[in-house]
């Protein structure tokens, strides 16, 4: 889930932004919370006293994928916006994405297919293989790989988007993103859903990049005009105007997220649901606010948290792509164990699953980075330049030495 943080050019490159690794770490935690609580939400009785807790954790964390898409847009446009759109630039761009993103995706798609086939020995191998080809082409080999399909769409469209931004759309990037996203939502509901001859992936709006375009363009805007917005990110409380605006943003963020959870609670407990457009509007506002809130929080954490805590978050952010790819395997095998028969055992089982999904997948990622010369084939690239550390964090492990456990 990671593209290279900076890609330098002869025209000069922007500075490293280490806070983005903290952003990735927090977004990754949200992914792990979603995957760690989905079974609890599905199995618990909605009338249970703890159902609301699990539902809140699960639904409130739903900003995860939009946040990752936002930071991907930030990184890409921060790195490329001021570069000339030449054949060399485009060729280099696609070579890196093929090597560090597409290759790991293909390998893990095959890995998940093989493991699930072995766990289901009664499945028809030929039918499963044909189905797998389609799944691999659409990000369906396992439930979390649809994100990789979104990234492939982004990389395919990126030269065109970059050209549009450089031709004068940059200042209107967020409005452009909102127009594309809501135009797609309308077309999908009024036209695409009735086109039964289309491949199934076109009926899964969550697998189509256009349904996340506002978050992508928000990140693009912040990346292109980072020099103008960095004060709002780095020092949101050091100025009355910024402090008031940031306070309102954080309040709106929490209020929208809580209301979105409430909407889902009513839906799952049998109350009359809201209209689909209302869900989409609230979720869109929540995810846009979440991306900015997470960015602000990342900068505040980097400047104020203890160095060891900051460096731990940076290391998790650096390893986030590998953790993302590996953690469902941990959950898959862990959930073969018994859930337990008492409420306490159930809760301990869920919490332990979250911790293990993080720690085991992180450990495996670090081992791959440390001992495998071709680690990029499995977990992509990681920065080798420790320049992403600030002077107050210079005691941290360097980027090319995985953290010790």
Full DSSP string of 323-354: HHHHHHHHHHHHTTS---SSHHHHHHHHHHHH
pLDDT of residue 235: 79
pLDDT digits (tens, 9 = 90+) for 42-70: 888 888 889 999 999 999 999 999 999 99
Number of CB atoms found within 10 A of residue 49's CB: 9
Domain hosting residue 347, numbered range: 19-176+213-233+291-393
Average pLDDT over residues 99-117: 91
Lowest average pLDDT, out of 170-184, 189-203, 342-356, goes to 189-203
Contacts for 383 with CB less than 8 Å, ≥ 6 apart: 4, 5, 16, 318, 399
pLDDT of residue 126: 72
Total domains, the chain: 1
Contacts for 349 with CB less than 8 Å, ≥ 6 apart: 337, 339, 340
More confident residue, 115 or 399: 115
Q: Is there a contact between 279 and 263 (Cβ–Cβ < 8 Å)? A: yes
Query: Using H for helix, E for strand and C for coil, what is the string for 258-305?
Result: HHHHHHHHHHHCCCCCCCHHHHHHHHHHHHHHHHHHHHHHHHHHHHHC
pLDDT of residue 403: 33
- Whether the per-residue pLDDT at 79 is higher than 90: the answer is yes
How far apart are alpha carbons 212 and 196 in whole angstroms?
23
pLDDT digits (tens, 9 = 90+) for 174-193: 999 999 999 999 999 889 88
Give the pTM.
0.88
pLDDT digits (tens, 9 = 90+) for 287-343: 999 999 999 999 999 999 999 999 999 999 999 999 999 999 999 999 888 766 788
Average pLDDT over residues 194-200: 82
How far apart are alpha carbons 21 and 316 in whole angstroms?
8
How far apart are alpha carbons 286 and 257 in whole angstroms?
6
Percent over 70 (pLDDT), the chain: 90
User: Is residue 231 very low, low, confident or very high in pLDDT (cuts 50, 70, 90)?
Assistant: confident
Give Cα separations from 345 to 276, 349, 350, 354, 355 (angstroms).
Answer: 37, 6, 9, 14, 15
pLDDT of residue 288: 98
pLDDT of residue 120: 79
How far apart are alpha carbons 292 and 219 in whole angstroms?
9
Locate all alpha helices (DSSP H) within 17-145, ordered by sequence: 19-43, 51-60, 64-80, 87-97, 103-119, 125-138
Residue 192 falls inside a structural domain: no
- Whether the per-residue pLDDT at 206 is higher than 90: the answer is no
Lowest average pLDDT, out of 132-136, 151-155, 210-214, 331-335, goes to 132-136
How far apart are alpha carbons 250 and 211 in whole angstroms?
24
- Whether the per-residue pLDDT at 12 is higher than 70: the answer is no
Residue 138 falls inside a structural domain: yes
- Whether the per-residue pLDDT at 134 is higher than 90: the answer is no
User: Is residue 258 very low, low, confident or very high in pLDDT (cuts 50, 70, 90)?
Assistant: very high
Residue 112 falls inside a structural domain: yes
Residue 307 falls inside a structural domain: yes
pLDDT of residue 127: 75
Residue 256 falls inside a structural domain: no
pLDDT of residue 4: 34
- Whether the per-residue pLDDT at 278 is higher than 70: the answer is yes
How far apart are alpha carbons 201 and 208 in whole angstroms?
8
φ and ψ of 384, to 5 deg: -100, -15
Residue 280 falls inside a structural domain: no
What's the mean per-residue pLDDT of the chain? 87
Average pLDDT over residues 84-90: 93
pLDDT of residue 198: 81
Residue 267 falls inside a structural domain: no
More confident residue, 243 or 282: 282
Residue 155 falls inside a structural domain: yes
Number of CB atoms found within 10 A of residue 250's CB: 16
Structure tokens at 16: 């490293």
Number of CB atoms found within 10 A of residue 309's CB: 11
Matching residue, tokens 């780095």: 234
């Amino acid at each position: 889930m990671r593209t290279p943080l900076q890609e330098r050019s002869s025209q000069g490159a922007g500075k490293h932004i280490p806070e983005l690794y903290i952003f990735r770490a927090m977004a990754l935690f949200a992914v792990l919370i979603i995957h760690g609580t989905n079974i609890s939400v599905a199995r618990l009785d909605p009338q249970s006293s703890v159902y609301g807790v699990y539902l809140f954790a699960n639904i409130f964390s739903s900003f995860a994928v939009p946040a990752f898409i936002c930071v991907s847009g930030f990184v890409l446009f921060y790195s490329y916006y001021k570069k000339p759109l030449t054949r060399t630039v485009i060729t280099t761009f696609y070579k890196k994405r093929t090597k560090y993103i597409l290759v790991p995706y293909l390998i893990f798609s095959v890995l998940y297919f093989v493991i699930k086939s072995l766990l289901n020995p009664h499945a028809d191998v030929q039918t499963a293989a044909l189905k797998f080809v389609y799944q691999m082409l659409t990000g369906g080999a396992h439930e979390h790989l649809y994100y990789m399909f979104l990234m492939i769409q982004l990389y395919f469209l990126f030269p065109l988007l970059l050209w549009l931004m450089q031709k004068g759309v940059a200042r209107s990037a967020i409005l452009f993103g909102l127009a594309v996203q809501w135009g797609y939502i309308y077309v999908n509901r009024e036209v695409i859903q009735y086109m039964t001859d289309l491949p199934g992936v076109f009926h899964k709006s969550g697998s189509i990049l256009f349904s996340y375009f506002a978050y992508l363009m928000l990140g693009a805007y912040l990346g292109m005009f980072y020099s103008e917005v960095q004060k709002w990110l780095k020092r949101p409380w050091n100025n009355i105007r910024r402090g008031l605006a940031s306070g309102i943003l954080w309040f709106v963020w929490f209020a929208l997220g809580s209301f979105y959870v409430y909407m889902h609670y009513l839906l799952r407990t049998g109350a009359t649901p809201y209209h689909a457009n209302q869900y989409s509007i609230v979720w869109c506002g929540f995810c846009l606010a979440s991306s900015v809130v997470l960015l602000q929080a990342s900068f505040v954490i980097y400047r104020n948290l203890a160095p060891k805590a900051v460096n731990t978050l940076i290391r998790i952010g650096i390893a986030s792509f590998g953790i993302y790819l590996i953690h469902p395997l941990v959950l898959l095998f862990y959930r073969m164990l018994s859930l337990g028969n008492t409420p306490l055992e159930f809760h301990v089982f869920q919490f332990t699953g979250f911790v293990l999904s993080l720690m085991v997948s992180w450990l495996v990622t670090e081992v791959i980075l440390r001992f495998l010369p071709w680690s990029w084939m499995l977990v992509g690239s990681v920065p080798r330049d420790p320049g992403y550390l600030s002077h107050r964090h210079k005691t941290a492990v360097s980027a090319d030495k995985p953290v010790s456990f």
